[in-house]
Structure 1
Amino acid sequence: MENAVEKKGKFPYRLGFGILFGLLGWLVPYLGVNSTLLPAKIQQIAPGQKVQIVALLATIAMVVATIANIIEGALSDRTVSRWGKRNPWIFAGMISTLICFYFLTKVTTISGIILNWSLFQVALNMMVAPLVAFIADKAPKKYRGSISAFYGVGMNFGTPVGTMIASRYITNINSGIYIFMVFEVIFTLIGLFLVGDGSNKGEKVPKLHGSELIEAFSFPIHGDVRDFYFAVFGKLLFVSAQFIITGYQLYIFTDYMKLSSASATHNLSIMSIILLITGVSFAIIGGPMADKFHSLKLLVAISTVAMGLGVAIPAIDPAPWTMFVYAGLSGAAMGMYNSVDQALNVTVLPNPNSAAKDLGIVNLANSLGQVFGPICASLVIGAMGYRMIFPMAGVMCLVGAGLILMIRKVK
């Protein structure tokens, strides 16, 4: 059935800004804590084992996030309530992540951090998959690229802003976490209000039994899944390469470039500003370009190659300028990539009736990449030192670009 907004030809600005604010609601606090404040807390508790602990934490979080994303996305697809099928999950995720953040300020042991962060992954994915599904639920086909651009702007704004805020609180970690908690409440509620997902009472959800029950809570195996999995693994490699750098950016400045904590904080802020400017600039133009030229696949592939060049640069010289060049190239790449990526993902879905679950699996590449990247980096750092993580990230991007170009359904 044709979307009413599409019939009228009006651009759904409320949906776009709702997705933007909803994304910032979870992304800024999560990345700020995950990339900076959590490593800083680990460094306080166990400085001698910090690299290994970050990798262990990432491994456990990856397993938990994988299971939680699939189950919570599938349950969201089948939720019927007066508040809609996405809102209850996003709101519950907000409350749960706030609880985890609060207890993170109280834990003083590595085992406590691991338990807390595992529970946080369950809570976080209550928000991630249902929010992305709004694009499939509500965005008219002809505007998917532009609506995806709102998501892309949020991704490229949220990543450096989270780091910029967190870098100011490396020596006062708990205050930084409390600020992120307030930020999350305000932005998430604004996002839900703007999207305005009303009651879906009366919507018929077929009962599941046998193979249908298994399929509802598993990776898709029916329909056109070839392109779907190329998109999944292409995204996984792109995000993994990004977080090889992001996951260890504090340690890159302090251990690889031998800077003091104060100097590292200063350079993290500069890098974040560069990421912010380039990322948001390219995110704004990416979606409209995709809608106009119908070039989703090519734009995603070009962005992935550009990211590959950016992440390889710091291998040239252990000096801050290489991280600034990385920030410029990768910021532009992430801006373009994130602005059209969700439109590509919606296009390759094998079954629109399981949009949240399947989009959750695609976007699971975000969660898995954020932990798979640091795991790979930890192994390479331990065996060969920091310098080799940069070319490794570059190769990941080139392989990811190849997978994206193999997608047939999308131009």
Structure 2
Amino acid sequence: MLSARKPGAATPHTPESPETPVPPHGPERIAKATGQEVNGVFITLFILAYIGLWIALCTPASVTLSLRVADLDPDGKAGSLSTIAGAGAFCALVANPVFGRLSDLSTSRWGQRRPYILGGMVLGFGALLVMGTAPNLFVLGLGWCLAQMLFNAALAAATALLPERVTDRYRGRVSGLMGMTTQIGIVSGTFLVQFTGTDNLWMFVAPGLLGLVMVGVFVRYLKEVPRSRAELPRLRWADIPRSMWINPVRHPDFAWAWCGRFLTWTGLSFLTTYKAYFLMDRLGYTAEDASPVLFWSMLILATATTVSSFTAGWLSDRIRRRKVFVAAASVVFACAMVVVATAQSTGMFLVGVGISGLGQGMYMGVDYALVASVLPNKDTEAAKGMGVFNLSTTIPQTISPVLAPLFLAIGGAGNYSALYIAAAVFCGAGAFAIRLIRGAR
């Protein structure tokens, strides 16, 4: 159970003695106000909570949603899955920055982030129950849209803790750990489903319950000081659409960081979305035979991402530079796409996937730290800013199925070489965009 602020506890506006000056803003001020330092325990519980969130969100996205659609609509499953997944992606796109902004303006006695992190997980778990018991596609789609909205509300509030609570000295290492969490969440959720089976409610309940417990432990540990209404701007209806926009002219460094990730993730989405069809159309696999290759590719991708993410984050803290790692990661992505584009064997395909994992880990290991350093109004609008930044990952997943057929159709149907060369170009453009950032090293 969350506890309210005790009488006499320090608040952000409480005067401090001359002997213990509080920095005017940033992680040091919050640490002083809450009495909670960002130490090994804090970081460990935070990363475990982040993994738990991804287990709850990514297991349906990667496994159980498609199985449930196939159960309800075996003949038209491909079209139905596309419709439901697209609707869910749109809800995620809107929910992340909007709930981030609402979290920024929260005056709850439990703090700004805790109600949204825990509330999003609890209600998101309820949405998973709706999906698991859905009698038809409409209810299933409604459940998935709710799950995307609610888990992204939790994600927006949780991501804001990086610029708010972690000092720049350790931001690269924490960013590197955060970069590993998505792949760990996907692999963990897929592994968990092997025990629950794929024809019962538990394939939705188990990942959601595990994620809820992992997040709940961190929320119980996290200390926040309530913000007063006088400290925050008034919430207006116009803030809702504005929460999805940060002026690129006024904040060019943030805009270039956003564009860099958007371009790179568009290229990556070509690989992740079409790798199964590549195996079948280019290398001659059947759908059944491709399954173990896809498993190995996912395992290789997760392993490479995990290793390179933490390594890049640690090194970026050591040399006090971020841009060089993010730009280099985009170049590694581009090389991976070229390898996949020219692959004529399973071995070369897996090599390309492995190189892609190294690039993805290097990118994710540092880019959160990079954007945190150029985030506009980070002291008052951290969740909004990180929510807008997260759109650079969500939008590519939505538009890649629209763009990809244009490249596949070059010179005839099934031109995967053109698709992945285009992906390499997108990644290269992403590296160039990062180089244009001026307010960070």
Structure 1 and Structure 2 fold alike (TM over 0.5): yes
- Decide whether the 8 Å contact of 1:156 with 1:331 is kept in 2: no
Aligned to 1:369: 396
- 1:202-221 per-residue CA deviation (whole Å, 9 max, x = no partner) reads 47433437898578634122
SS of the residue aligned with 2:133? coil
CA distance in 2, matches of 1:170, 1:264: 21
SS of the residue aligned with 1:79? coil
Aligned to 2:438: 408
Aligned to 2:43: 16
Sequence identity, in percent? 23
CA distance 1:32–1:222, shift in 2 (3 Å): closer
Aligned to 1:278: 304
- Decide whether the 8 Å contact of 1:17 with 1:191 is kept in 2: no
Aligned to 2:270: 244
Residue type of the partner of 1:390? Y
CA distance in 1, matches of 2:78, 2:338: 21
CA distance in 1, matches of 2:76, 2:427: 29
Aligned to 2:252: 226
Question: How far off its partner does 1:166 sit?
Answer: 5.4
Aligned to 1:397: 427
CA distance in 1, matches of 2:104, 2:305: 31
CA distance in 2, matches of 1:318, 1:162: 31
Question: How far off its partner does 1:21 sit?
Answer: 1.3
The one of 344, 348, 351 equivalent to 1:325 is: 351
The answer to whether residue 110 in structure 2 is matched with residue 80 in structure 1 is no
- 1:265-311 per-residue CA deviation (whole Å, 9 max, x = no partner) reads 32232222212321111112111211121221110011112122223
Question: How far off its partner does 1:73 sit?
Answer: 0.6
The answer to whether residue 316 in structure 2 is matched with residue 290 in structure 1 is yes
Residue type of the partner of 1:120? A
The one of 167, 188, 191 equivalent to 2:215 is: 188
Q: Equivalences for 1:119-158 in 2 at 5 Å?
A: 119-158=146-185
Structure 1 portions without partners, runs of 5+:
none
Question: How far off its partner does 1:145 sit?
Answer: 1.4
CA distance in 2, matches of 1:169, 1:313: 37
Question: How far off its partner does 1:135 sit?
Answer: 0.9
Residue type of the partner of 1:402? F
Q: Which has the higher contact order (CA 8 A, sep 6+)?
A: 1
Residue type of the partner of 2:436? M
Residue type of the partner of 2:317? D
Aligned to 1:384: 413
- Decide whether the 8 Å contact of 2:281 with 2:414 is kept in 1: no
- Decide whether the 8 Å contact of 1:64 with 1:122 is kept in 2: yes
The answer to whether residue 329 in structure 2 is matched with residue 300 in structure 1 is no
Richer in helix (by share) = 1
Q: Provide TM-score, normalisation by structure 2.
A: 0.81
- Decide whether the 8 Å contact of 1:73 with 1:356 is kept in 2: yes
Bigger CA drift: 168-177 or 336-345? 168-177
The one of 90, 104, 120 equivalent to 1:93 is: 120
CA distance 1:166–1:409, shift in 2 (3 Å): farther
Aligned to 2:383: 356
Q: Equivalences for 1:328-343 in 2 at 5 Å?
A: 328-343=354-369
Bigger CA drift: 115-124 or 164-173? 164-173
Q: Answer with 1 or 2: which has the greater Rg.
A: 2
Question: How far off its partner does 1:66 sit?
Answer: 2.8
CA distance 1:223–1:386, shift in 2 (3 Å): closer
SS of the residue aligned with 1:105? helix
Residue type of the partner of 2:310? I
Residue type of the partner of 2:253? D
Q: Provide TM-score, normalisation by structure 1.
A: 0.86
Aligned to 2:93: 66
Question: How far off its partner does 1:152 sit?
Answer: 1.7
Bigger CA drift: 143-152 or 305-314? 305-314
Question: How far off its partner does 1:89 sit?
Answer: 0.4
CA distance in 1, matches of 2:195, 2:333: 27
SS of the residue aligned with 2:231? coil
Bigger CA drift: 322-331 or 205-214? 205-214
SS of the residue aligned with 1:384? coil
CA distance 1:355–1:209, shift in 2 (3 Å): closer
CA distance in 2, matches of 1:204, 1:61: 36
Bigger CA drift: 52-61 or 24-33? 52-61
> For this pair of structures, how many residues does the alignment match?
409
Question: How far off its partner does 1:175 sit?
Answer: 4.2
- Decide whether the 8 Å contact of 1:97 with 1:123 is kept in 2: yes
Bigger CA drift: 114-123 or 84-93? 114-123
CA distance in 1, matches of 2:400, 2:81: 11
- Decide whether the 8 Å contact of 1:33 with 1:177 is kept in 2: yes
CA distance 1:290–1:254, shift in 2 (3 Å): same
CA distance in 1, matches of 2:240, 2:196: 45
Bigger CA drift: 197-206 or 11-20? 197-206
Residue type of the partner of 1:82? R
CA distance 1:258–1:304, shift in 2 (3 Å): same
CA distance 1:39–1:108, shift in 2 (3 Å): same
